Amino acid sequence: MSNKIQNPEKNFPVTWEELHRNAKALAWRLADHAKWKGIIAITRGGLVPAAIIARELDIRVVETISVKSYDHQTQGEIRVLKAASAVEDGGKDWLLIDDLVDTGKTAAHVRKLLPHAHFATIYAKPAGRTLVDTFITEVSQDTWIFFPWDLLPVSYLQIER
């Protein structure tokens, strides 16, 4: 991914440590539920958060739904490349995990497919916030979040905070 910042005015680079702490905090917020049937990770961004949450909540059943919407920082048409075919009852008692909700376009699409799943993200921007049931950190709409899996370690130093 290019490090050139385009439209968003603010850069929000996230380190692995921050991501790990926030994913654990999200897991603890979700721990009250009696019994989740499993986790559905929205790939690819939801994969690492889902792995951390699965460990923390001792959930061993992990499904995926593959959704693509962005090419670098430009949003295009939503495409579901793989459905969560093993999930029944519209996702009832399943945890749906993504890294973030931005415009809410991805979340709205996935919610139509899995209306009863509990949708949780680590980060939320205002335009999509109402589409998620649980999130940890809100950032403003004009912020671009840089995740550690998209950065070389040295890139943390190059992106102005």
Q: Hey, which bits of 24-61 come out as E strands?
A: 38-43
Candidates 106, 111, 117, 119; binder of ligand PRP (CB under 6 A) is: 106
Name the 3-class secondary structure at 66: strand
* Residue 99 annotated as catalytic: yes
Among 100, 114, 120, 136, binds ligand PRP (CB under 6 A): 100
80's CB contacts (< 8 A; 6+ apart) are 65, 66, 67, 109, 113
Q: Is 63 a binder of ligand XAN (CB under 6 A)? A: no
Q: Is 49 in the site for ligand PRP (CB under 6 A)?
A: no
Residue with tokens 């385009």: 6
Identify the CA nearest to 19 among candidates 56, 59, 48: 48
The whole-angstrom distance between residue 137's C-alpha and the CA centroid of its chain comes to: 12
Binding of residue 147 to ligand XAN (CB under 6 A): yes
Smallest CA-to-CA distance from 141 within 88, 110, 103, 92 is with 103
Interacting partner of 91 out of ligand PRP, ligand XAN, Mg ion, none (Cβ under 5 to 8 A depending on kind) = none
With CB under 6 A as the contact rule, which of the stretches 24-32, 60-68, 83-91, 145-153 interacts with ligand XAN?
145-153
Nearer to ligand XAN, 45 or 91 (CB): 45
Site string for ligand XAN, 65-94 (x = CB under 6 A): -----x------------------------
Catalytic residue among 93, 98, 133, 150: 98
